[in-house]
Amino acid sequence: MYDLNKIKPLPEDFKNWIESQLPPEPIFFKNHKGYSDLLCGHCGERSTIYLEDGMEDIFDIPWEKPERNKSAVCPLCNYEGYYEIGQVTAEHRNYEYFVLVQQDTDGNLVSRCFEVLQAWKKGLEANHEVIELERYVQSPGKLIKLRHERNWYSGETYWNELKNGHMSFSQRATLYEEGPGYDFKEEIKTSNLPYYEPNLYFDIFNEWGYESEYAYQVLKSLAIYANAPWSESFAKMGWTNVIKNVMWKDGSTALLNKRGKTLKSQLRLKKGENVRKFQDYMKIKPEKWYRVLEILQLSERRKRSFSQEEFDLLMSLYQIKDADEPLKYMTLTQLVNRLKEYKAQKEKAEKRIYAETTILTEYSDYLKLRRQLGYDMTNEVFIHPKDLHKKHQDLIKEQQMRRDSERAAQMEKQYDGMVKAYEMLCKKYCYEAAGFIIRPAKCPTELIRESQALHHCVGSSDTYMRKHATGTSYILFLRKKETPDVPFTTIEISGVKEKEPRILQWYEAYDKKPDEQILQPIIDKYVEHLKKGTKKPGKRAKAS
Ligand SMILES: [Zn+2]
Task: Give 315-342 pLDDT, tens digit per residue.
Answer: 877 677 788 899 889 988 888 889 889 9
Could you give phi then psi for residue 186, rounded to 5 degrees?
-65, -40
- pLDDT for residue 83: 96
- The stretch 288-309 carries a mean pLDDT of 88
Spacing, Cα 38 to ligand 1 middle (Å): 9
Distance 73 CA to ligand 1 centre (A): 8
Asked if CATH classification 3.40.630 holds for the domain at 416-532, the reply, yes or no, is yes
Cα gap 472→240, rounded to integer Å? 64
Cα(43) to ligand 1 centroid in Å equals: 4
**pLDDT the model gives residue 65:** 92
- SS3 percent helix, strand, coil of the chain, rounded to 5, is 45, 20, 35
94 CA to middle of ligand 1, Å?
19
pLDDT, one tens digit per residue, over 223-263 is: 988 988 888 888 888 888 888 888 777 777 888 998 888 99
Cα 84 to Cα 40, 68, 70, 121, 544: the distances in Å are 10, 5, 8, 12, 85
**How close is the Cα of 46 to the center of ligand 1, in Å?**
8
With 0.85 as the threshold, say if the pTM is over it.
no
Res. 418 pLDDT band, cuts 50 70 90: confident
Q: Which of 225, 299, 222, 306 is nearest to 267 (CA)?
A: 299
Per-residue pLDDT tens over the stretch 475-507 = 999 999 998 889 999 999 988 888 888 898 899
* Measured distance CA(241)–CA(285) in Å, rounded: 10
* Domain residue ranges of the chain, discontinuous segments joined by +: 14-93, 94-247, 325-414, 416-532
Expressed in angstroms and rounded, the spacing between residue 497 Cα and the centre of ligand 1 is 70
Cα–Cα distance for residue pair 132/97, rounded to 1 Å: 10
| d(CA 15, ligand 1 centre) in Å | 19
Q: Are 73 and 79 in contact (CB under 8 A)?
A: yes
Ligand 1 geometric centre to CA of 57 (Å): 24
Ligand 1 centroid – CA 48 distance (Å) = 12
pLDDT for res 540: 43
